[in-house]
Each structure stands twice: as structure tokens, then as C-alpha cells.
Structure 1
Amino acid sequence: MKLASLRIITKDIRQSVQFYEKAIGFTVQWYTEDFAELRTNSVTIAIGSTRTMKMFHGEDVTESKDQSNIIIEFLVADVDREYERIKNLTDRIIQEPTTMPWGNRSLLFRDPDGNLINFFTPVSPEAIQKFK
């Protein structure tokens, strides 16, 4: 089995695509006005409008009353440098760069739809080894 992509469903696809292009630094490939993809070196982030969910038996299976329990995580070369770039992109910073007990320095923020994103850089010898 191979993880192929993560898909984000949004009410405002243009806003989400623009946000992710700026946050990640990859250019989007549009397939329809309701579906686009950002291909990174390790995973594809698919972004679909809520209208695409009608194709799944006409149900909005993404409707949830609770906050999402998922964090989209990106390994970055320098989380502090990324923070300097991201802090001008969003006012939804949850945690400024902080070294976590497991050895990663992490920046946590939300996208326009409220999804959590973690940019992290391994800093402890163990974490650096893990991500080699």
C-alpha cells in the first residue's frame, strides 16, 4: 500500500489553493474549477471544492461537528526561516517555532479552512537520524 495524496475539501478553493501555493512554495495544477493538486517531493496535496463531494452518492461526507484531528506535517530545512515567511501569510499561528520533547522544532498554524499544518525541523541527534 502507498499513500498517494491528502485531499482537503474547502468551500473556497481559490483561497485555499493560493494559501498552499504560498505556504509550501509549489505551483498548483488545476484539473477543473473544483479540483487542483500540489505535488511535492513526497506527497500530493489535492484540493477540492465542496461541490466535488456530491460525486460521492450525493452526500456531504466531509461535514463534521468537531474540529479536525489531523495535522498535515511538512519536514522543512529551517523552521525558523519558514516562520518568518509564514507569519506574513496568516494570522492563525497556533505555536511559534518551539523545540518539542521528541527533538523536532515545530511551527503550528491553520490554513484558511482551519486545518492544522505543522512545519518541523529535526534538531536533536535522534530526530536528525530518524529523518536522514
Structure 2
Amino acid sequence: MNLVSIRIITADIKRLARFYEQITGIAVTMYTEDFGELKTPACTLAIGSARTLQVFGGEIARPADNQTAIIEFRVSDVDAEFRKLADVINDSLVQAPTTMPWGNRSLLFRDPDGNLINFFAPISAGAIKKFAE
């Protein structure tokens, strides 16, 4: 088994796609006006409009209602990303760059729908080793 994507359901797919393109520098490929994907080497972030839920049988998910998951992107320099994106994420900042007890440097903020995003980089010997494997 292989985890290949995480999908966000949104009421405003264009806004969310633009946001993820802005923070990652990766273009979102829009397959239809209701579905797009941001592909990274490790996983794909899919973005679907609320209209796509009808294909699955109706109101099975609610846009902008996530209170549990964190979407994580490994970056090379958390502090540099913070400086670069400060104006973009200023109103949605949850935690400025902080070194976590498990050895990652972490920046936590929210996307326009309120989903938590973590930009992190392993910095301790143990965390670096974990991600090298």
C-alpha cells in the first residue's frame, strides 16, 4: 500500500489553488474547473470543489471544517520560507519558526480555508537521520 494523495474539499477552488501555488512555488494542474493537483516527489495534494462531493454521494465532507489534520511540507530552510512568505501568511500564522522537541524546525500557519500547514526541516542528528532513510 502507498499513500499517494491528500484531498482538500473547498468552496473556492481557485483561491485555494492560487494560495498553494504561492506558498510552494509549484503549479497546480487543473484537470477540470472542480479538481486540481499539486504534485510533489513524495505525495500529491489534491484540491476539489464542494461540487465533486456529488460524485461520492453527497455531503460527505464540509469545506473549511478541518480541525484535526496538518498538511506538512518538508523545506530546506524554514526561516527563509518564513521571511519569504511573511506577508502572505501574516494573518494566518499559528507558530513562527520553532525548533520542536523531536528535532524539526517548524513553521505553522493556516490556508484560506483554515487547514493547518506545517513547513518543517529536520535539524537534529536524529531527525536528519530519520529523513535520510
Post-superposition offset of 1:64: 8.0
Higher helix share: 2
SS in 1 for 2:109: strand
Counterpart residue identity of residue 85, structure 2:
I
**How many residues are aligned here?**
131
What is the CA RMSD across the aligned residues, in angstroms? Answer: 1.5
Cα deviation 1:30-76 (Å, max 9, x = unaligned): 1110111111111111100001111111x211138964200011111
TM-score by length of 1: 0.94
Alignment of 1:3-82 (within 5 A): 3-57=3-57, 59-63=58-62, 67-82=66-81
SS in 2 for 1:68: coil
SS in 2 for 1:73: strand
Distance 2:24 2:38 in 1: 9
TM-score by length of 2: 0.93
SS in 1 for 2:46: strand
Gaps of 5+ in 1: none
Which runs of structure 1 show a deviation greater than 3 angstroms over 4 or more consecutive aligned residues? Answer: 64-67
Asked if the contact 2:65–2:114 (Cα under 8 Å) also holds between the matched residues in 1, the reply is no
Q: Using the aligned pairs only, state the percent identity.
A: 55
2:88 aligned residue = 89
Distance 2:29 2:108 in 1: 26
Distance 1:84 1:68, change over 3 A: same
